[in-house]
């Protein structure tokens, strides 16, 4: 639901609504849906949500679970370069 609302908010430049949607999406993030959430953040230019998702991915336990999801496959296909960001963050920690 919030993904669609975020798309509308982005299309009509409703920044406050984008922030609300991004917060709601983040509140529901799990290893099962973080890839889809990151894809949404990248598509609709939600940098704070993107950074939080990347930080989530950077934790080894979360990464191991998330890479097994269909959402991860879709993320890598849609944004191939984004997969290096969690690994870079992980290596810095």
Q: Identify the band that residue 93 occupies on the pLDDT scale cut at 50, 70 and 90.
A: low
Q: How far is CA 17 from the centre of its chain?
A: 17
Cβ within 8 Å of residue 67, ≥6 positions away:
none
Interior CA angle at 19 toward 17 and 21, to 5°?
Answer: 70
- pLDDT tens-digit readout, 4-53: 999 999 999 999 999 999 999 999 999 999 999 999 999 999 999 999 99
Per-residue pLDDT, 82: 84
Rounded to 5 degrees, φ, ψ at 13 are 55, 45
Q: Indicate whether 73 pLDDT > 80.
A: yes
> Locate tokens 């991004």: which residue?
22
Rounded to an integer, the average pLDDT of 62-77 is 93
Q: Note the pTM of the prediction, 2 decimals.
A: 0.87
Q: Indicate whether 84 pLDDT > 90.
A: no
CA diameter of the chain = 38
């Amino acid at each position: 639901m919030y993904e669609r609302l975020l798309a509308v908010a982005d299309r009509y430049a409703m920044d406050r609504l984008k922030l609300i949607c991004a917060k709601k999406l983040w509140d529901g993030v799990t290893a099962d849906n973080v890839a889809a959430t990151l894809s949404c953040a990248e598509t609709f230019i939600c940098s704070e949500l993107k950074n939080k998702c990347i930080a989530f991915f950077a934790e080894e336990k979360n990464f191991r679970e998330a890479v097994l999801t269909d959402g991860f496959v879709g993320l890598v296909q849609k944004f191939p370069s984004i997969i290096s960001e969690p690994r870079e963050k992980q290596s810095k920690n």
